A and B are shown apart, each in its own frame.
Chain A
């Protein structure tokens, strides 16, 4: 088997553990320490998972795009393995974002879905990611799978800002962007803790998932070129 060089699984497990700890701390702080928000009440606390998920979904998609570019330019099955892992990670986070967005929208605006540009873009992104993953599962040849899905990832990634702006123009009523700079310290701490928590957790899981992908590809590719048996080929 031709296995690419990957990060040690110990690093991945350490990241997962760190992520869980940070998320526990962040969630405790967010749920019990930080004060209730004046206008939105306890519903606002969902922001402590929602915003970190959003940041990390975009980050993972960006990294997947980086792996896709690296595979197309440099080649190497390690890039493809990480591409696959990051696509799945981004898809999971996008799905969670859509769910959290609905949970937030219902008590706030009385509807499950309010066509906010960010939320709608996330839904489109989720569908695009699922499409790329479906493409990967429908192509048996490892090289075609890697190349085609890398092309699809680049195309879908470029689309994200275009979708965002077109939805924003289409539905001019939307929420103001919230960033940690505009909110006060008790709100920032759980946001930061969870942001790094999700990053470490998803990073660790993606590294582990990449190992699985690399092993599967190595199995599909079979053995390296067997050496020439002595005397089999006669030179003319």
Chain B
């Protein structure tokens, strides 16, 4: 547990030190949100209808930048190999990294929500539930994202490879998170929210287990 806390502290410290870069990801996400409204046109009703989807698309597009950055610090001076030689168990490394990436993505989402409120009028009566959804959705992106970013950081053509592997995989996350966000923004008369959150939770449960188990296989040289 001490080692996990130390590994998590390392991730958060690294993120804090490279916060200028985090800020540029926020700007990227906000820009993506703005651009998507141009695909719909200045129709306030339609924009509000699609706000949930735009939010998650912006988050998904930004996530590849976040994930790549989280691996860059480890590959510059082969810090990842150094960590394995200390030795830190790969499982601990994975979970620390995935938790840190979840937090960063959730934070990014929390910053993008006000942007979506301003641009699309996407207010919700249940802000806490929306934040919980952001954390759950971010967790769904972070677990497979961390695993794939660790692979692609050491492959050729890494910039294109990560989205190519990650995006098809997280289709269920995108669907469930978009639906749930829309229900929170537009209202949930049929009480469907719980079903989508269950789907998202199931996805997280499966991939947080599976990726943690297999991380050791891909970091060994």
Contacts and interface: CB of A to CB of B under 8 A. Distances in A.
Interface stretch (B75-83, B102-110, B166-174): B166-174
A167 interface: yes
Interface stretch (A33-41, A46-54, A124-132, A177-185): A124-132
A225 interface: no
A159 to B, nearest CB: 5
A151 B155 CA distance: 15
A124 B144 CA distance: 16
Contacts, number: 89
Interface residues of A, number: 30
Given A138-B157, A155-B211, A158-B210, A166 B168 contact: no
B176 A166 contact: yes
Contacts of B158: 138
B137 to A, nearest CB: 13
Contacts of B195: 169
Contacts of A158: 206, 210
A154 B151 CA distance: 15
A128 B210 contact: no
Nearest to B220: A147
A135 B172 contact: no
Interface string B82-94: 0000000000000
A170 B164 contact: no
B175 interface: yes
A72 B218 CA distance: 11
A162 B196 CA distance: 12
B17 interface: no
Contacts of A128: 165, 168-169
Contacts of A139: 155-156
Contacts of A125: 168
Contacts of A162: 172, 199, 202-203, 206
Contacts of B206: 158, 162
A165 interface: yes
Nearest to B179: A170
A215 to B, nearest CB: 22
A131 B148 CA distance: 11
Nearest to B158: A138
Interface in A35-91: 72
A140 to B, nearest CB: 8
Interface string B140-167: 0000100110011011111011001101
A134 B154 CA distance: 14
A124 B168 contact: yes
B131 interface: no
A155 B165 CA distance: 10
A131 B202 CA distance: 24
B207 interface: yes
B218 A138 contact: no
A26 B110 CA distance: 57
Given A130-B164, A155-B207, A155-B211, A170 B175 contact: yes
A111 B108 CA distance: 38
Contacts of A169: 175, 195-196, 199
B46 interface: no
Contact of A131 (B164, B176, B196): B164
Given A128-B168, A155-B210, A162-B172, A147 B199 contact: no
A112 interface: no
Given A139-B155, A154-B210, A158-B210, A165 B199 contact: yes
A138 B169 contact: no
Interface of B: 144, 147-148, 151-152, 154-158, 160-161, 164-165, 167-169, 171-172, 175-176, 179, 195-196, 199, 202-203, 206-207, 210-211, 214, 217-218
Counting from the closest, the 5 A-B pairs by CB-CB distance are: A166-B172, A127-B168, A128-B168, A131-B164, A131-B165
Given A151-B218, A166-B172, A167-B175, 5 more contacts: A131-B161, A134-B160, A148-B155, A151-B151, A155-B207
Interface of A: 72, 124-125, 127-128, 130-132, 134-135, 138-140, 144, 147-148, 151-152, 154-156, 158-159, 162-163, 165-167, 169-170
